[in-house]
Amino acid sequence: MQPQIILLREGTEATQGKDQLISNINACQAVVEAVRTTLGPRGMDKLIVDANGNATISNDGATIMKKLDVVHPAAKTLVDIARSQDAEVGDGTTSVVILAGEFLKNAKGLVEEGVHPRLLVKAYRKSLQLALDRINELAVTVSNDPENRRDILEKCAATALSSKLIHQQKGFFAKMAVDAVMNLDDLLPLDMIGIKKVNGGALEDSFLVPGVAFQKTFSYAGFEMQPKTYKSPKIAMLNIELELKAERDNAEIRISQVSEYQKIVDAEWTILYNKLEKISKSGAKIVFSKLPIGDVATQYFADRDMFCAGRVVDADLKRVMKACGGAVVSTVADLTPETLGQCEIFEEKQIGGERYNFMTGCTNAKTATIILRGGAQQFLDETERSLHDAIMIVRRAMKNDKVLAGGGAIEMELSKTLREVSRNITGKEQFLIDAYARSFEIIPRQLCDNAGFDATNVINKLRQKHAQGEIWYGVDIVREDIEDNYKACVWEPAVMKINALSAATEAACLIMSIDETIKSPQSSNNDMSANNPYK
């Protein structure tokens, strides 16, 4: 009899084989069910409440996946692909999760019938390449004519916004998203677009600032006396505290007589006034600091017609630095003309119940800020997420000038193409590619289900049209029918579909290639110390 060898710690759980693979697929299906109904213009929203009682209302796939506390190790893969799609493209986060789930669902039946997972993975990767080749073949190159280009970008942004909470104002916000991206330089840096939310007013009261804007920070007495408008001002950006501190907060000092204490106080005032004098002499009219600017400094600047703001948020200060030039300095000795920024106009204006600082005509880099208005804070947060998706889509469409028709049109065409390919293949691979091809129909089917349409009827009409060579026919949400979505201007950047397909297929292949899960028990501190070789 062979002696039993134990390699794993007592209490370790290990499950393997076909049952484990099917269990992983079922877990992924449960995650897909959570986001399935959010797809498309008629998608429903989700209300997610965290452990602290904070509520989030959203139909953005990436946001929902982040907020869901997914603990199953295989299902976490779907969370990762939603995040990667959001980071890479910005939109299509729900589609990528639904596609991955459908790929796995169609593979599940084949696995139960005895097909080896490796054959499925091989067939899925081959199918992916065929699908990507077809997308590149079908993608329409955008015109370089500036007017047509802008029109196409607005249509791509409107398509991204059509499934969001603000779909009724998609024309208004699509134009704003395109304006924001076109305000940037050739590299299109996302961090140069700021989005600020101000409660109150209507959504249509939102507007775009062609420069930097941020909320007025806490200010001391004397602030009211400072001018609120400047033309071509120099801007000093500091990381210096400009206020007096009580000595007991900073150091312990032993003195023998009162006059010595007075010298210490005088020295502190002298240090502060020397700093303020150097700032004033530098020629700066606007002073921003990450650290507090106290009442003495505020009054000092007011007497010299200078504007100051302390405790400026780091991200806002960096954007001011990039847009207006100059540098954030940590000592007044470094205040030279090279370290000062400049803009054409500085203003402080009232927006709703808040005061905002505006800098326009920035000389160093192009930037933009969107001021969002609206009712509830949760509504504003969702509007910000929706606008982020539209901005990302416009950026991608500017860098990759190929578009496709949306509304399930491209998915139906890919499904038809792969079915035709599978009919010319003998052996098991025919069924495997056909399973991949059938998965694409989940997108138009889910669009119909979420809108309350008869999905079977619509899908049959789409199959007929695509069989006749009508490649751009997709779901028409408005008329409960099908339509040529390219002519209807329901457009999406090709890069979005390419990224979504690649991510969904790789996630499905990754999950199908797992045949064993080993879960180690949590080690107690005693176990860790007992097994520590360095103890």
Supply the mean pLDDT for the chain. 87
Tell me the residue range of the domain where 37 lies.
13-141+405-472+494-519
The count of residues in the chain is: 535
The percent helix, strand, coil of the chain (3-state, each to 5) is: 50, 15, 30
**H/E stretch holding 379:** helix 377-399
Residue 288, burial from CB neighbour count under 10 angstroms (0-12, 13-18, 19+) = buried
Residue of 94, 217, 383, 417 with catalytic role = 94
CA 467 to chain centre: 38
How many CB atoms are closer than 10 A to CB 206? 24
Cβ-contact 301, 287 below 8 angstroms: yes
For 445, the token pair is 């089917």
pLDDT digits (tens, 9 = 90+) for 173-184: 999 999 999 888
Do 245 and 311 share a domain, yes or no?
yes
Q: What is the DSSP letter of 256?
A: S
Nearest-Å Rg of the Cα atoms of the chain is 30
Rounded CA gap, 130 and 135, in Å?
9
Q: What is the pLDDT of residues 10-20, one digit of tens each?
A: 545 555 678 88
In tens, the pLDDT along 45-81 reads 899 988 888 888 888 888 898 888 888 888 889 999 9
Final residue before a domain boundary, out of 347, 362, 385: 347
Q: What is the rounded distance in angstroms from the CA atom of residue 165 to the CA atom of residue 409?
A: 23
Bigger pLDDT: 248 or 345? 345
User: Which candidate in 38, 56, 63, 93 is catalytic?
Assistant: 93
User: pLDDT at position 12, please?
Assistant: 52
Question: One-letter amino acid identity for 526?
Answer: N
CATH of the domain at 341: 3.50.7.10
Determine, yes or no, domain membership for 213.
no
Q: Which residue has the tokens 């602030």?
A: 223
Which pair of tokens denotes residue 279? 């700032």
Catalytic residue among 389, 434, 449, 476: 389
334 is catalytic: no
Is the domain of 30 the same as that of 130?
yes
| Tally of domains in the chain | 2
What token pair was written down for 77? 């893969």
pLDDT in tens, 209-220: 999 999 988 778
Does residue 93 carry a catalytic annotation?
Answer: yes
Assign 526 a pLDDT band (cuts: 50, 70, 90): very low
Q: Rounded to two decimals, what is the model's pTM?
A: 0.80
Range with the largest mean pLDDT of 57-71, 253-267, 516-530? 57-71
CATH code of the domain containing 510: 1.10.560.10
Among candidate residues 52, 89, 84, 43, the one with its CA nearest the CA of residue 65: 84
Work out the average pLDDT over 98-121: 92
Query: In this structure, is residue 202 part of a structural domain?
Result: no
Confidence at residue 88, expressed as pLDDT on a 0 to 100 scale: 86
Average pLDDT over residues 142-147: 71
Residue 327 lies in a domain: yes
**Residues 336 and 435 occupy one common structural domain:** no
List pLDDT tens digits, range 449-503: 999 999 999 999 999 999 999 999 999 988 889 999 989 888 888 999 999 999 9
